[in-house]
Amino acid sequence: MTDRLNIAAALLAFAETSPAATALRIRADAERRDWTYGELAAAVLRFAGALLQIPIAEEQRILIALPDSAELVVAFLGAIWAGAVPVVVNPALRADDYTFFVADTRAKLVIGTRQSIGALEEAIDRAASRSVEAWTVAAGEEGTLWDAVRGASEARDPFPSVRDDAAFWLYSSGTTGRPKGTIHRHANILHAVDSYGRHILALTPRDVVYSTSRMFFAYGLGASLYFPLAAGASSVLSPEPFDASRSWRLIEQERPSLLFAVPSVYRAMLDLAPADADVGSSVRLCLSAGEGLPESLFEQWRRRFGLEIVDGVGSTEALHIYLSNRPGACRPGALGTPVPGYDVRVVDEAGRDTARGEPGRMLVRGASLAAGYWHRREATERAFLGEWFVTGDQAVQDEDGLYRVLGRVDDMLKVSGQWVSPSDVEEAIRSVAGVADCGVVGVPDTAGLTELVACVVATEQDASGLAASVEARCAERMPRYKRPRRVILVASLPRTPTGKLQRFRLREMMQRVRRGELD
C-alpha cells in the first residue's frame, strides 16, 4: 500500500544504518547521558510493547506532561509506533489545567514526572475519567515508565498506519484562551522536514541542535525532535527551566551548530552574555519564531556575535514555520517569503487578495496543516477554509515581495513565545477585592518585546496595596508567562458606548506612560 506511513518508524530509520551515532545529549543538572540511535530505537520499541500490554487501542490518546528529556522522546515516538496518539502538554501546570486536558483527550494513560504526577492524578479524579493509568518517569521505582518498559517485549513492527491517520496532537489557544486539540497527521512531519528542514535548516548528521523552546510547543517539537532525527543529527536536551547562564554553558560545552530560541530568550542571552561568549565558532544558524523579532535586537546580536537571527513565523495549526527569511539574506523587521512547500495570501474582508503595500488577513496553505480541531466543529470551519488556514494575523507584503506581520486580528498576545488571552488575565484580576474594572494589554518594553500591563480601576479612593494583591492573585492562578509585568492604577478605562474595551486606546495610554507623557 503506497499510502502506508508510520512517522515514528520514518524518524528512526537512521538507527538501522548508524546505530552508534548520537541521537540525544541529555544535559540535566542531575544527569549527563548520551543516547545513541540504536539505544533510542530499542527503547521506543519496548515502550510500544508496554503500551500494547495495557492494551492501548488504535488512535487512543496518551497525555504526556514531561520536560524535554529522553523519556519524552521515547514516549512520543513509542506511542506513534504502537498506533496511539501522543498529546504533549506543559509539564508545569496545576491540576485545574490538567483536568481539562484529561477530559478533552479521554486519555487512557497519562505520563508525568514525580513532581507533576500528583496534579495529574488529581485531574483524573476531577475529570471522572475511567480506567486511566498514570506513570511517572522516576528511575528504579515500581509502577513507572521505565519499570513498564523493562518488562515489555519489543513491538518489532510499527502500527500499519497511513499518511492521513492521526499521529499526534498539540494544543493551540484561541481567542477565548480555551485550548484546542490540533490534530496532526503522520504526513505533516514529513512535509515540514521536506520544506523548512530541507530549504532553511539543511541539517546533516554532523549537526548538533540546541533549542531553548520546549517540545510541548510546535516550534520546540520540530527543533528538538523531528528535524534532527530525520537528518541523523544530535539534539541537546535540558529539562530545567530556561536560564541564560545555563544556556551559555551548554553552548560552550556542547558546541551546537543550530540554535533555536524566541526573541525574549535572545534578549536575555545577549544581556547576560559572558565577556568571552563565542557563538559563531560553532553555531551556523540562529533561528527565531514565536513572537516578533525587534530590528534592534537583530542588529545587536549580529554586531556582538557576527550571526544573523533567521526570523520566521509559524503556528501550531501549520505545525512549524511557513514564512521565513533566508540564511545570509535576512531583512530586519521582515519575515521573508513563503518556505518552499507553502503558499501565503493576504486578503481583505471580502476574501480578495490585497495589492502589495495594503494590509489584510494572512492565510497559509501547505501539506503540514492540521486536519482540524478535536470536537470543535465551528472553530475548525472558521479557521480552515478548504486548503487554507486563517492564521489570525494581519500582514502586508511590501514592494520587494517580503511579508511583515502587523499584529493579531483578535486580542490574543504572544508573550515569550506563548499565546496569552487578555480576557483570562482580566478574569483573575476582577476576582480581587477592591478591583472595579481592569484591562490587560501588550506593550513593547525598552527592548521592543511584548510585556503584559494590567490597568486597574479601584473601587475605593485609597487603593494602597491593591497592586500587590493583584500580583499575588495572578501568581496564584496563572503560570509566569501570563502574569502582568506591571500593574498600573488608572481612573477609568476607554470603552465604547456599548461598553467594549478599546484596547488600542489603552495601549496608546500605556505607551505614553512609558514615555513619561502621562502620570
Domain with residue 457: its CATH number is 3.30.300.30
CA distance 439 to 449: 19
Task: Map grid coordinates 545577549 to a residue.
Answer: 270
Query: Containing domain of residue 138, as a range?
Result: 1-20+29-162
Residue with C-alpha cell 516550534?
219
Q: What is the pTM of this model?
A: 0.83
What's the CA gap between 414 and 243, in Å, rounded?
A: 20
Q: Are 356 and 474 contained in the same domain?
A: no
Task: Tell whether 416 is covered by a domain.
Answer: no
Domain co-membership, 467 together with 392? no
- Do 451 and 374 have their domain in common? no
Give per-residue pLDDT as tens, 458-509: 988 778 899 999 999 999 988 888 999 999 999 888 875 545 677 878 888 8
CATH number of the domain at 246, please.
3.40.50.12780
Contacts 24+ apart (CB under 8 A), 469-477: 469/432, 469/433, 469/434, 470/429, 470/432, 470/435, 473/428, 473/429, 473/431, 473/432, 474/425, 474/428, 474/429, 477/428
> What pLDDT is recorded for position 183?
98
Question: For residue 283, what pLDDT is reported?
Answer: 97
**Which stretches of the chain score pLDDT less than 50?**
1, 140, 174-176, 498
- Tally the domains of the chain: 3
In this structure, are 474 and 347 located in the same domain?
A: no
Question: Is residue 415 included in any domain, yes or no?
Answer: no
**What distance lies between CA 436 and its chain's CA centroid?**
34
